[in-house]
Amino acid sequence: MPLSLADMNTVYVVKRVTGNDQIRKHLATLGFVEGAEVQVVQSIDGNLIVEVKNVRVAIDESLARRVMV
């Protein structure tokens, strides 16, 4: 399922990242790589604050739909 549909405060593992090369590279830079553990900390109108690799990052809904957990 996409990260945008994930429950808050539940740890998930990234299964794959979709999108073009530029989007996948950007998400990899933020820590969204296969096998990484992620946790949704807060959701505001579809935009997420996510903890990945012990760092909190904010991503919009379109990017969250690209991360499959």
pLDDT tens string 12-64? 999 999 999 999 999 999 999 999 999 999 999 989 999 999 999 999 999 99
What distance in Å separates the CA atoms of residue 7 and residue 37, rounded to the nearest whole number? 14
The percent helix, strand, coil of the chain (3-state, each to 5) is 25, 40, 35
pTM of the predicted protein model: 0.91
Per the structure, how many domains does the chain have? 1
CATH number of the domain enclosing 42:
2.30.30.90
Tell me which residue range forms the domain holding 10: 3-68
What does the pLDDT read at residue 33?
96
- C-beta neighbour count of 42 within 10 angstroms: 13
- C-beta neighbour count of 49 within 10 angstroms: 15
At residue 40's C-alpha, the angle toward residues 37 and 43, to 5°, is 160
